[in-house]
Amino acid sequence: MAERFRLTLAQLNPTTGALAENAAKARAAWDEGRRAGADMVALPEMFLTGYQVQDLVLKPAFTADAMAHVEALARDCAQGPALGIGAPFAAHGHLYNAYYICQNGAVAARIFKHHLPNDGVFDEMRVYDSGPINGPYAVGPLRIGTPICEDAWFEDVAEALAETGAEILLVPNGSPYYRDKFDRRLSIMVARVVETGLPLVYLNLVGGQDDQVFDGGSFVLNPGGQLAVKMPVFDEALTHVDFTRTPQGWRAETGARAVHPDAWEQDYRAMVAALGDYLRKSGFSRVLLGLSGGVDSALVAAIAADAIGSENVRCVMLPSEYTSAASLEDAAAVARALGCRLDEVPIDGPRAAVAEALAPLFAGTAPDVTEENIQSRLRGLILMALSNKFGEMLLTTGNKSEVAVGYATIYGDMAGGYNPIKDLYKTRVFETCRWRNANHRDWMQGPAGEVIPPRVIDKPPSAELRADQKDEDSLPPYPVLDRILQGLIDNEKSVADLVAGGFDRETVQKVERLIHLSEYKRFQSAPGARLTPRAFWLDRRYPIVNRWRDPT
């Protein structure tokens, strides 16, 4: 009879800092693996602490507590399969991102991450020491090499493990989502398999943490790059993978291969998952938002309903004299279609009171954007009052186009705790609304069908802070603006590059100026779901005070 090895992959969602809760989830996964006859149960990178812990791991008491939880897990999981789990390790003045192998009631091996990512959302060089390249460890009949996440993006760690006797590669990851990232992961892991000739297991986290969403999508490759197992994206899952020793070495038996949805659905799922986990992990069960009758707030309301259920979403219409009858009707239609509560709080009275209070100081000046912003800030004040009174987190509703050029009022419509569409350009907002109207999935807690009336999507965008106002009074048309923003922000192109591509120089320079002038607003803005490799926050770190402008 051929030798066999069963590896249980636990693609699970930890909560950062919840050590006991995460340990309990690991123990439950181990129990399920034991019942299934597993030889080893594996959890992802830094699962015990959650990921990323950032500077929290620099607190000695936290790291000591995490290490103590690993030791307790090892004792609790003595009679059964080995357990692999990610957690920090500190000793002799060094701190490592580590992967622990627990067997027979003790920690049998510790693997230290060698390549520390220092780009995008990662700055692990700030907090961890680079560990040596470890050799493989034995579990039953199998010698396993474990490159930790970034280690597998380089040739050297996997090659060293193969040369020192590893028979399969187990890669635990905390790899956050961005659009189309699965294909990039897969191509890099195929390269490691081709170079080493070894089967490879890619095990990833799921769940939201602040702005990042870990999308799972774990998989197993056999030599030659053949896909043996493919796990779902965004869902927690346990999968038992059976390996058999053949004359050519160990091979994974073919198992379930999940079909992943397209980029539109994955983006939407990421926004829903990010919001749902942000609320659950921070202790909120209800939200509110200002529902203006516009497309952005309508999409945020839909995301919120899908994340936590329509009954937990309060929408508030805050009309002024500039609010059109159509906007009132559209807001009501969105709330009705979603099944959300809709309150109406007119701001004319508070606005008149503020105008009266400021009249002596404003005497002799002409009305301008100041008066427009007072309206927005009164709305923010009222929404924050409702948030405080009823314990509902306020959601902000600015898309990436607006966030980029500062087309939002600080302490006004920017007030709030989370922004689900922060990394979604306006043109994608329109298409995402259309996608949601045409699609419903089991993971959506909101209703099926057309939840955003087409009139909301199709009408010209307006902040409605003055008579007959349209966004295009101040900004280029969104199809033009978004292409310029993608060039300047996502691709770091120069003004000259974009002009050479056919854009008007004056328009590009205006947009570039607005991006730089708005840095202080973004610095104070709410976090939001990361959908691209150039999301605002950790992906793009610019100085707030910056006098440089592109001279080209």
HEC string of 301-352 equals HHHHHHHHCHHHEEEEECCCCCCCHHHHHHHHHHHHHHCCEEEECCCHHHHH
Give which of 488, 510, 506, 507 is closest to 497, Cα–Cα. 488
CATH number 3.60.110.10 is the correct assignment for the domain at 4-260:
yes
Give the β-pairing of 4-11 and 237-246: antiparallel
Residues comprising the binding site for L-glutamine?
175, 181
Residues comprising the binding site?
175, 181, 290-297, 373, 397, 402, 521
Q: Which tens digit of pLDDT belongs to each residue from 84-126?
A: 999 999 999 999 999 999 999 999 999 999 999 999 999 999 9
What is the rounded CA–CA span in Å between residue 220 and residue 534? 29
Residue 1's pLDDT is what? 65
Least confident range from 284-298, 394-408, 454-468: namely: 454-468
**More confident call, 467 vs 143:** 143
List residues with catalytic annotation.
45, 113, 149
| Tokens standing for residue 321 | 């004299």
Q: Which tens digit of pLDDT belongs to each residue from 140-166?
A: 999 999 999 999 999 999 999 999 999
Q: Which tens digit of pLDDT belongs to each residue from 470-510?
A: 777 788 999 999 999 999 999 999 999 999 999 999 999 99
Least confident range from 259-268, 490-499, 542-551: namely: 542-551
Cα-trace Rg, the chain = 26
What is the domain partition of the chain in residue ranges?
4-260, 264-467
CATH number 3.40.50.620 is the correct assignment for the domain at 264-467:
yes
pTM: 0.95
Beta bridge partners of 341: 314
Task: Give, to the nearest 10 degrees, the angle between helix 426-438 and helix 263-282.
Answer: 90
Indicate whether 347 pLDDT > 90. Answer: yes
Q: Mean pLDDT of all residues in the chain?
A: 96
What is the rounded CA–CA span in Å between residue 86 and residue 344? 49
What's the CA angle centered on 236, arms 75 and 448, to 5 degrees?
A: 155
Q: Same topology for domains 4-260 and 264-467, yes or no?
A: no
What is the rounded CA–CA span in Å between residue 311 and residue 49? 32
Beta bridge partners of 145: 169
Residues comprising the binding site for deamido-NAD(+)?
373, 402, 521
